[in-house]
Chain A
C-alpha cells in the first residue's frame, strides 16, 4: 500500500484523524522545507565528507587522558620528538610500505573503538573485553617519556600514556608453565590494504620472555602526548618495549597469550638473519645491511648527522640483568 503524502496544508487535519499515522499540523514538515530536503542532505553530506578530510587532530577527538608524568621516566635533558613527526612517520606495513602512508590510509573509516582485546593462553584469568573496560580494570594510566629506536637506525623520544605490562600480566595470573608472552595484532584485510599482500605472514606477531614482560620498563600504551593513540600509531592499544628495536612493540593489539614455547614472530620468520627474537638495541651487533652504532634523530634537522646508539637504548641499568651470561651476538 502506498502511503499518501499530503502536501496540502490547507485541508483540516480532522479529516483523517482516525488513522494511527495521523499527525498534527505542527508536526508536518513545511512544504518549502520538504521540497528543499535534498539540498539539506547535500549540504550536510558535504560537511560530513569535508570533516572526514580534516586531519584527525582537528575533528572533535576523544578527550585528553588526564594522566601525569611518572617522575622515574622523565628522561632529563632529552628533547621530545614533536608530536606531528611522531604521528606522520610510521612503520605500519598493514597500511603500506611508506612511512607517510599509515597517517592517511589508517584514517579512512577504520574503527579502533569499540575494540575487543583477548587475554588468554596459560593463565588463570582469561578475558575477552573491550579496550575501555581493560583500561578501567588495569589502569590508572600514567605518562612515561621513552627513547624509541627503530631497527632502521633512526630514533625518537615519545611521551607515552599507558600502564606497565606487568600489571596486565598480574591481572591475567599466568600459570607457572607459561614462559613467554605472545602478542598478536589485528587481522582485517578488508580494511587494510597492506594485509592483502602475500609478502608478510599476517597478522603481526611478537613475543617477550616472561621476565621481559614483567620488567618495569615493558609498557602498554593507550595514548601519546596525552591523547588516545592515533590509528597510525597503533590505536587503541599497543606494546612499548623501549630497550628493544621498534618492531618488537606491536601496534593495535588484538590478543595477548601466555605460552610455554618461544612464539614465532613476524620479522624473525621473514628474515631470521636480520631480525632476532630478542632484538635488543645493541650498537655492537650490526644489521647485515647497515651499522647499528649510530642513529638519525627524527626532527634534528637536515645536516644533523647521527648520534651514537646506546646499549639497550640507554636502559642498561634496568634490563642488562635479564641477559646476564647470554651471548648477545648469537641471541641478537
Chain B
C-alpha cells in the first residue's frame, strides 16, 4: 500500500496517465487504422470526451480532499491538480483543432461559429486556457493567493458551460454529461454540507458544557 501511494504521488505517474490516455485513444488508433469510416469525427469526439472527463477529474479532487482530509490516497492524487487541469485544457485545444480540421475550409469554419453550441464550447475552452496559462507559481505570486483563487473559481463556470456543450452534442441523449453532472454535483453538495456542519460545530465546541475539555480544531 505504501508503495502504491508512493507511485501515485509521483509527478511522472500523473503525466504518464494523462499522456497515456491520449496515446491510447488518439495516437495508436491512427496507426493501426482503428478510427473507422469517419476518422476525423472519431478523433473529434474522443478528444472532447478525454477533455471533459479530465476536467471532471480535476474538479472532484478538492471536494474529495475536504471530505476525506486524512485519506492518503486523496492527498496523493491532490498533488497532481495542476497537471490534470492543464491536461484538460490541452485536450480541449486538440478537440478544437480537430473541429477546425473536420470543417475543413474557412467558410465551413465560419458557419460553425454561428452556432450557440460552438460558442458555449469556445467560451468554456477560453476559460480553461486562461486558467492553464496562470497555472504556475509566478502567476500565483503576481496575482496574490486570494486573487488567484478567485480567478481559478472560474473553473466551475467552465465546467458548467462544457457539460452543457457535451450534453447537447449528442442527438437526444446525454450519457456522459449525465454521469459527470451527477458525480460533480454530489461531490460539491457533500463538500458544502460538510463545511457548513463544521462551522456549526466549531462555536458549539468552545461553548461546550464540558468546558475546557475541548481543544481548538
Contacts and interface: CB of A to CB of B under 8 A. Distances in A.
Interface of A: 85, 88-89, 97, 99-100, 152, 154, 197, 199-200, 267, 270-271, 274, 286, 288-291, 293-294, 296, 298-299, 302-306
B15 interface: no
Contacts, number: 69
Given A286-B115, A305-B105, 19 more contacts: A88-B37, A89-B36, A97-B170, A97-B173, A97-B175, A99-B36, A199-B172, A200-B173, A271-B171, A271-B172, A289-B115, A291-B112, A296-B40, A296-B104, A302-B40, A302-B101, A303-B101, A305-B104, A305-B108
A232 B115 CA distance: 32
Contacts of B204: none
Interface residues of B, number: 26
Interface in B24-64: 36-41
Secondary structure of the B contact surface, majority rule: helix
Contacts of A199: 172-173
Contacts of A303: 101, 104
A298 B173 contact: no
Contacts of B164: none
B115 A296 contact: no
Contacts of A200: 172-173
List of 4 A-B pairs having minimum Cβ-Cβ separation, nearest first: A305-B104, A89-B37, A291-B111, A289-B117
A290 B112 CA distance: 6
Contacts of B41: 154, 296
Given A291-B108, A291-B111, A305-B104, A298 B37 contact: yes
Contact of A306 (B103, B114, B173): B103
Contacts of B140: none
Secondary structure of the A contact surface, majority rule: loop
B168 interface: yes
24 contacts: A97-B170, A97-B175, A154-B41, A199-B173, A200-B172, A267-B172, A270-B172, A288-B116, A289-B115, A289-B117, A289-B118, A289-B168, A290-B112, A290-B117, A291-B111, A293-B111, A296-B40, A298-B38, A299-B37, A302-B39, A302-B101, A305-B104, A306-B103, A306-B105
Contacts of A299: 37
Nearest to A197: B173
A306 B104 contact: yes
Contact of B38 (A154, A289, A291, A293): A154
Contacts of B148: none
A206 to B, nearest CB: 15
A58 B138 CA distance: 62
A270 B172 CA distance: 7
A197 B170 CA distance: 15
Contacts of A306: 103-105, 108
